[in-house]
Chain A
């Protein structure tokens, strides 16, 4: 049963991922991305990580891709791209080489690391799931707000700095032009 779900969800993700890079219309590409994100959510559910699945849908499919679409519509770039033009010379060749290189590195890393891989931290105790439905969230909270609270807070500070920086850069330019 789990194999069937794995195959179906993976097929969903791969079709979505191919759609993102092959569709010439940005809105269709964004819709394909939603398909991929839903596939990830299905994988999370199959791994009994219900909370992560919900967060995956709420944050990625529900907010981030909506913002993508919002920007696409607002800027009016929702016309199909002309794929024949190449803005930077030799861009495609370089992208192809870089992509193949990355793929090679990933394959080597997985092939060599699969035997020596050890999970970090305590992980989630999925055996405790059956007894209590909220165990998943409690363990996650213990991890995020207990064991790794400093890293977590630092990440949030980083995000705030990024947001404030973006706003400052965008505003300064308009003030200069006006």
Chain B
């Protein structure tokens, strides 16, 4: 049996194979175009927030500005620093770009999930899903890919053979490894509620507004996920990796021409992917807004296609939120960044996960849910007090030893 690709179980037939190839092509092209539009969108929205006009010359509303910039970068001189590690220097942009595209493969991009449907559509007589792949491990794949994404930035900084990029990349690796934990732990709450790892299963579990995981898990995991995802993307206010006032340009200082463009592309592609992942995990993905038997239905459009429209709308909201963050929030200091990650987000997401697990256990065992929750809150409060005590003692010890922070 062909155990490697869940899409191709059984015989390898031509129609499913062609559908998979079509999906790959569509995901790739949509990814590139979405990135192009995202760069334009970000520049335009930030310009609006800062009372500027933004790009307005190339194409209608400046829409083709990114294309113009890309063409310009293609024809610029490709510099290879003499002290760089040639092979790793050339490899790093691709290590950044490939994970950015891979993660998009597991996002359900449409399909009919309402009324207990499981999002399966029929194309050319073959039943399939409107997503490139639906692996059993689903969201863990996204987590794995985002943990791989750190290599591109890390190796780019190291291989440049220059000190500011190296500082940027060391910061990046520490930051991304730290926030990876918070990301995973807040994800665990979603998995606990939905009871499955597969992204299509997670979407199918969110058919009404109260089932959306942002409501069903309480709002805390969503907030933690949003913060950790922003840090994982190295976007403002967590962009210490490329803090231009301190590090010239950060990890990509020595990069020029198309190699620089690849990093740029990966960064914006990651933003789009992460927004799509947030929507999938917490906001029902392609599900329409539905509450108490009333569903907001777009007339005349088949339900399968309507899912794509809902998904695009929700993703746009989060893309706007990311741009908004960038325009309004000042950058964190490095120790604040680490404190937020290790002392707030990780214990917070772990505590919330334990609380949800206790409630789940109470419901399974037939205990009183309110008593269980109360006991859990008391225990977590005691844990919080212990943790704060430990922080206070460690601060005092550090001051006694003469450390300055």
**Which A residues lie at the B interface, using CB under 8 A?**
1-2, 5, 25, 27-28, 31, 34, 45-48, 50-51, 53-55, 57-58, 61-63, 66-67, 69-70, 73-74, 78, 129-130, 133-134, 136-137, 174-175, 178
Contacts and interface: CB of A to CB of B under 8 A. Distances in A.
A69 B88 CA distance: 13
B151 A27 contact: no
Nearest to A60: B147
Interface size class of B (residues with CB under 8 A): 35 or more
Nearest to A134: B196
Interface of A, secondary structure class, is helix
B136 A136 contact: yes
Given A47-B3, A69-B173, A73-B154, 10 more contacts: A31-B155, A57-B144, A58-B140, A58-B144, A66-B154, A70-B173, A74-B170, A78-B158, A133-B6, A133-B198
A56 to B, nearest CB: 9
A5 B4 CA distance: 9
Given A46-B3, A66-B150, A70-B173, A54 B140 contact: yes
A132 B9 CA distance: 14
B267 interface: no
Given A2-B3, A133-B136, A63 B170 contact: no
Nearest to A72: B158
B3 A48 contact: yes
Contacts of B155: 27, 31, 69
Contacts of B195: 134
Nearest to A1: B2
A161 to B, nearest CB: 17
B377 interface: no
B224 to A, nearest CB: 18
Given A27-B85, A50-B136, A133 B196 contact: yes
Given A27-B88, A78-B158, A133-B198, A73 B169 contact: yes
Given A50-B135, A51-B140, A66-B177, A57 B148 contact: yes
9 contacts: A47-B3, A50-B137, A54-B143, A57-B147, A62-B144, A63-B177, A134-B195, A137-B197, A175-B401
Interface string B193-214: 0011110010000000000000
Closest 10 CB pairs of A and B: A62-B147, A133-B136, A54-B140, A57-B144, A54-B137, A50-B137, A50-B136, A58-B144, A70-B173, A54-B144
Given A46-B3, A51-B140, A54-B137, A63 B147 contact: yes
